[in-house]
Structure 1
Amino acid sequence: MNWTDFTVVFDLDGTLVDTAPDLHAALVHCFSEKGLPAVTLDTIRHAIGHGARVMIETCAKETGASLTEDELSAMHKSFLSYYIAHIADFSRPFSGITETLDYLRDKGARLSVCTNKTQDLAEEVLQTLNLTDYFDSVIGADKASEKKPSPAHLLEAVSAAGGIASHSVLIGDSSTDGRSAEAAGIPFILMTYGYLDDAAYDPKRFGQLSDANELPGLLESMVS
């Protein structure tokens, strides 16, 4: 397989970018408005990956609160308003990510983002952090026919980048990513520095790394 035939798909939150600090700030804001106690940054790290509404509901339960649909919708609206205004105050690419993206671009690989963030928010994060130009496609949750862990989301990200599933890999940090890759029949690389959400889930995977600086070497072994 040539590099130009290879599609590397990345999850966004917890894989490409450490977005947890800004997500946490937005969550604290909407919880404060509701009169709920703030959750810790560590708590939110394990609630990321399924979308903002699920994250708000999960973290509310951690405080002992049970939200009605109307309450959840109002908090979601407050969360998004604050988050959009502060989307990358503290968010930064993880160590080794920009170097990996430079390496893959130099090799001619196709690159894609497959995220359960909404399309607008995903594009805004990437644009603000000057990452947009690396990617051939970005497929957010509301742009996909079905969001992760559905394999459809991942397969649509590969296709939008001009690739094919048999010459692709997904790099992610959660069971959501692992299940999506497994269902699509695509190798999965787990990045353990991210927001691991389910330690009991052990998907079939090509590899597991704790440092993005090691990604080029592992990906090289898949191509050669």
Structure 2
Amino acid sequence: MLVLILGGTAEARALAAELAPLPGLRVVSSLAGRVADPRLPVGEVRSGGFGGPDGLARWIAEHGPRVVVDATHPFAQRMSESAAHACAATGTPLLGLRRPGWSEGPEDVWLRVPSLRAAADALPGLGSRVFLTTGRRSLPVFAPLTGLWFLARSVDPPEPPVPPNVHVILARGPYTVAGERALIGEHRLDVLVTKDSGGEQTRAKLVAAREAGLPVVMVDRPATPGGVTRVTDVADAVTWVRDHAG
């Protein structure tokens, strides 16, 4: 019985590792192919897009997965919408696996915004030396901010346009509080911009920002498709797959 995991996250890899040894299950993890050297999950892996919701529906019709688990990044809105459309069209059970978002503590200074564009608009009044951790594909949104200096961190090098005053560091989490604290001090950063990705691998920057008194511009998650069963825990996802795969 084939299980298709739309992956690329730590939760997707953990789910594949739990499901792959189960007798009678064949696990295929699909990666978007946007990272040059991704961390690969246990089991079979396919890389690259499906060609939109209709392309994913054709793949499902051809390969016949018993269930699909959408364990993509919380900001992979287009893929989640494609999964909801394709599974509805083919009558395939779909589960959404999403780790919880981050919550603001009493000592945090957060500004929640609905989009990257709103984050860019808010920055000039908050600081001049920006720790930008929203991913390489987001840099064009901040390119017009010529009066600010950016420390941008991403797994792969960004493509232009990028802000004129930007220093890019290539790194992959998990990160430590000590390491984030050192970056803030070394580069004299005074504001952090991040997405509400959730999870432990990149939480350290929030702790370091709190310690340093930095304001945090937090980009809220996009809306998720309705009518989809959702869990936040890998163990619950395993139970759902076993129940639905038979």
* TM-score (norm. length: structure 1): 0.38
Which has the larger Rg?
2
Higher relative contact order structure (alpha carbons within 8 Å, sequence separation ≥ 6): 1
* TM-score (norm. length: structure 2): 0.36
- Larger helix percent: 1
